[in-house]
Amino acid sequence: MAVAAIAGALTQSVIGWCAGATGIRDLAQLSGGASQETWSFVIEQPDGDIAAILRRSPPGYGSVSGRAAGLDVEAELMRLAHEAGVPSPQVLHVLTEADALGAGFVMRRVDGETIPRKILRDAEFAEARPKLARQIGIILAGLHGIDSAALPPLRTISSTEEIGLLRDDYRSFDWPRPVFELALRWLTDHDPGASKATTLVHGDFRHGNLIIGPDGVRAVLDWELAHRGDPMEDLGWICVNSWRFGEIDKPVGGLGSREEMFAGYEAAGGHVDETRVKFWEVMGTLRWGIMCCGMMRRFRESPDHSMERAMIGRRSSETEIDLLRLLAPRS
């Protein structure tokens, strides 16, 4: 769909649902992929313009992942999060067939930074950095506390099922990796089973999916992997070493300690099970390693030999080191 066609359809859509809107301007694509696009634009109104974001999957395209919840579900989860006080962009409109733009939604734009290198090093975020690990704990407790009865239909996945999915993905590569074998055996031996508390789980709570400003976290993005499950999964995933970007002594995204995150989580009414957090950190590290292997396979087999895929693919060796540090730490 050409930019002019998107602009025309979006203009008609906005005028239909946004009271007083006269049009749009400054439409620009922020990202584009095989299935989902993100566009920035401004809604023109006599009472004040609104900076907005369109997130859409064009007609005829499915989701990137079989695990994806779908953009309509993602929009509903963001609405629930916003109402519950979890920092999340305000959803303004969920696309319908009449909008002729595919599946997706429009939300208010939130200013801030998502690039880890800037967040971890720039002077602009110096005052926020020491507070972020605790703030992340508080946000996750709020997210996990969203009323389960209000949630849209979501898949439920247990730790045992996740181990099976990872094992199947890994075996499909026919690429033996002894450290991955060790991790799969450890996970099976230490599988905690069903969690006493099954809650909403974000599924990809990490750098890149958090908008951060000098005052702290301003918004949680990208809810496409959300599901019902063990809330400790989110706490373990953000501690995976790959999201620390060199700050390996600060487990929570290179920002602070597990203890700071745990304190924030419990202060906001959550309960931390450290054994389960470690289990999910190992699971998350293996999961990312297998995802990297998948990128390498796509690089090798696809006619489009993307350098990005190759670079991500080679990071599987980093996850092997991370797994050994977790499972066989030096004294």
Q: What is the pLDDT of residues 308-322, one digit of tens each?
A: 767 777 788 899 999
122 and 239 assigned to the same domain = yes
Domain around 259: 116-327
59 and 138 assigned to the same domain = no
Average pLDDT estimate for 22-50:
87
For 38, the enclosing helix (H) or strand (E) is strand 37-44
Order the strands of the 23-32 sheet from edge to edge.
Answer: 23-32, 37-44, 50-57, 103-108, 91-94
Answer with the one of 60, 76, 108 that is the final residue of a domain.
Answer: 108
129 and 214 assigned to the same domain = yes
Answer with the one of 47, 76, 108 that is the final residue of a domain.
Answer: 108
**Would you state the pLDDT for residue 57?**
86
The predicted-structure confidence for 45-93, as pLDDT tens digits, reads as follows 999 999 999 999 866 554 445 577 789 999 999 999 999 999 999 999 9
**Would you state the pLDDT for residue 60?**
56
Averaged pLDDT of the chain: 92
Tell me, what CATH number does 38's domain have? 3.30.200.20
**Would you state the pLDDT for residue 195?**
82
The residues near 72 (Cβ < 8 Å, ≥ 6 apart) are 94, 103, 105, 152
39 and 160 assigned to the same domain = no
Using alpha carbons, select from 113, 201, 221 the residue that is nearest to residue 159.
201
100 and 121 assigned to the same domain = no
37 and 122 assigned to the same domain = no
158 and 134 assigned to the same domain = yes
The partner residues of 53 in beta bridges, in order of sequence, read 40, 107
66 and 20 assigned to the same domain = yes
Q: What percent of the chain has pLDDT over 70?
A: 92
DSSP code string of 40-76: EEEEE-TT--EEEEEEEE-TT---SSTT---HHHHHH
Place of tokens 């649902």: 17
DSSP code string of 205-246: -STTSEEEETTEEEEE---TT-EEE-THHHHHHTTSGGGSTT
Q: How many CB atoms lie within 10 A of CB 214?
A: 15
141 and 96 assigned to the same domain = no
Answer with the one of 50, 85, 108 that is the final residue of a domain.
Answer: 108
What are the start-end ranges of the E strands in 58-214? 91-94, 103-108, 199-201, 210-213
The predicted-structure confidence for 275-290, as pLDDT tens digits, reads as follows 999 999 999 999 999 9
CB 195 within 8 A of CB 276: yes
Tell me, what CATH number does 290's domain have? 3.90.1200.10
314 and 201 assigned to the same domain = yes
Q: Measured between alpha carbons, how far is 18 from 45 in angstroms, rounded to an integer? A: 9
Q: How many domains does the chain have?
A: 2
Higher pLDDT, 44 or 193: 44
